[in-house]
Structure 1
Amino acid sequence: MPHPAFPKTWILVADAAQANAWAASGRDGPLTAVPEFGLKAEDTHGFSRDLKSDRPGRSFSSSDSRRSAMQPPHDPHDEAKARFTALVAKRLAVACREHRFSRLIVVAPPRMLGILRKDYNEELGRCIAGEIDKDLTKATPAEILDHVRSFLHAT
């Protein structure tokens, strides 16, 4: 059963740098911020080059004396996003397990949604009531409510 102090539906509004949860009390609102769920990532909106050294390393070819740039096998920018989305999914899974919500609506840009889906555990996956592939991190609660209203139950 949901915790009595919290409504049954949460709305996660996230992008690669921040995630906030809102509790919905019905189709007509209001939305209430879930204060302990305001998450911020390290600066993942900077360029990947800002997350690593200025220039790639150099190596010598084993067959001659030419040197060429070594490319890293991974993008630090993508790794930072993946770490952040894993943290968001983990915190949601804990809140779900603690019955803080029974339904979850996820609002995030398409790429973020795809990364998040990979991190959902089975229990959290069953709580997903809807997804909206849009960046609403700068939207007001009223604007968020307008976008998610069709997923909310009348109360």
Structure 2
Amino acid sequence: MNLRIPHNAWVVVCDARKAIFLRNEGNATLANLRVEQVREAAANPPSAEQGADRPGRIQNAVAPTSAIEGTDWHELAERQFAHDTVAALKLANRAVNPRSIVLVAPPRMLAMLRQHLDEELRSRILAEVDKDLTKHPIQEIERLLRAA
């Protein structure tokens, strides 16, 4: 498949820690992506530093004591970053009003992003690419998206 990204379309490349908002200054056959905005998640220390308590217990009337699953602080931070990324995309959508948006993220992050998209943004999604490209240079992202 050859992904064709229209002129002035937005490409959002993100993972659980970083989101890069790109705009295609080229045309559909030859993308020329330019960085519009970069967002990074706040520092997320190890779980031991965030919550020191052991998971709680429930005493059942007729069964043995049950444990309660502990809080996964890193998953909460990822969900919050997905929410913040979509909020930034909504602001950009109101300001710039791109006709098309391409989401590029690992499968787990794509699922989290989808949960926060409203109908207006969903209607503008041209493609979703399930790859982690945040650590690649822009030229490499262009090349990999052409091949996607």
TM-score (norm 2): 0.78
Question: Would the aligned equivalents of 2:60 and 2:66 in 1 still touch at CA under 8 Å?
Answer: no
- Pair 1:52 & 2:54 matched: no
Q: In structure 2, how many angstroms separate the alpha carbons of the residues matched to 1:60 and 1:114?
A: 32
Q: Percent identity?
A: 28
Gaps of 5+ in 2: 1-6
Q: In structure 1, how many angstroms separate the alpha carbons of the residues matched to 2:101 and 2:10?
A: 5
The residue that corresponds to 2:8 in the other structure is 8
C-alpha distance 143-136 of structure 1, shift in aligned 2 (>3 A): same
Question: Would the aligned equivalents of 2:10 and 2:22 in 1 still touch at CA under 8 Å?
Answer: yes
Tell me the SS of whatever aligns to 1:12: strand
- How well do the aligned residues superpose, as a CA RMSD in angstroms? 2.7
Tell me by how many angstroms 1:10 deviates: 1.0
Tell me by how many angstroms 1:143 deviates: 1.1
Question: Would the aligned equivalents of 1:56 and 1:71 in 2 still touch at CA under 8 Å?
Answer: no
Q: In structure 2, how many angstroms separate the alpha carbons of the residues matched to 1:129 and 1:109?
A: 17
- The superposition leaves residues 5-33 of structure 1 with CA deviations (integer Å, 9 ceiling, x where unpaired) of xx521111100001011111223232111
C-alpha distance 68-51 of structure 1, shift in aligned 2 (>3 A): farther
Q: For this pair of structures, how many residues does the alignment match?
A: 138
The residue that corresponds to 1:113 in the other structure is 110
Q: In structure 2, how many angstroms separate the alpha carbons of the residues matched to 1:101 and 1:150?
A: 23
Gaps of 5+ in 1: 1-6
